Amino acid sequence: MPRANGEAGELALHIQVQEAALEVAAELAHLQRFGQSGAQATFTGFVRDFGDAREVCAITLEHYPGMTEAALHDIVQEAARRWPLHAVRILHRVGYVALGEAIVFVGVASAHRRAAFAACEFIMDMLKTRAPFWKKEHCTDGSAQWVAARHGDSEAARRWQVP
């Protein structure tokens, strides 16, 4: 279990890869237990109808069981070394995810607003470039294609590098 630095003490960490729908309201309630933290930042990503293709109606997500969870733990450990964090919750769907449904939820609790914002964004940028998930888009015309990695995502991850 990673430890947060500074005044934060032990970090409450929850990482889950699941086929079931994400219960975002329940996740917010879990984070609320760390209300004394002072600050929470969350990100939720959804399936949208335009991706690499037009008229996307669903995606399927494949992942590398074992390595996925290990990669997410490493990312949170790195975040906890950079910012004083009280709690981190990461949930990610795999399998079939319909248009409009949530794909990923990242929630961070910290004593400080800047730390919460930064850690949440850092975790998402690293997740998108390091965690072994792969998206395939399904379109209304019945076609399907694997999504290509975006250069912008690598750039976003790179700007967190310590010089």
Partner 1 sequence: MKLRILYFASLHEALGCDAETIDPPANITTLGALRQWLAGRGGPWQMLAERDDLRMARNQKVARADSRLDDGDEVAFFPPVTGG
Residues that bind partner 1 (CB under 8 A): 45, 61-64, 66-67, 70, 92, 103-104, 124, 127-136, 146-150
Comparing CB distances to partner 1, the nearer of 117 and 134 is 134
Q: How far is the CB of 131 from partner 1 (least distance, A)?
A: 5
Q: Toward partner 1, which CB reaches closer, 38 or 144?
A: 144
In this complex, which beta carbon is closest to partner 1, that of residue 38 or of residue 101?
Answer: 101
DSSP H or E stretch at residue 107: strand 102-110
Residue 66: both structure tokens together: 């074992």
- State the nearest-atom distance from the C-beta of 86 to partner 1, in Å: 23
Tokens representing 71 are: 């990669």
Instruction: Between 29 and 149, name the residue whose CB sits nearer to partner 1.
Output: 149
Smallest separation, CB 67 to partner 1 (Å): 4
100: left (phi over 0), alpha (psi -120 to 50) or beta: left
Closest to partner 1 by CB, 86 vs 135, is 135
CA-CA-CA-CA dihedral for 101, 103, 108, 112, to nearest 10: -70
Least distance to partner 1, CB of residue 48, Å: 12
CB of 63 to partner 1, least distance (A): 7
- For CA atoms 64, 66, 68, 71, the dihedral sign is negative
Query: How many alpha carbons fall within 13 Å on the CB side of residue 130?
Result: 18
| Tokens coding 22 | 């994400």
Q: Within a 10 A sphere around the Cβ of 126, how many other Cβ atoms? A: 20
Residue type, 98: A
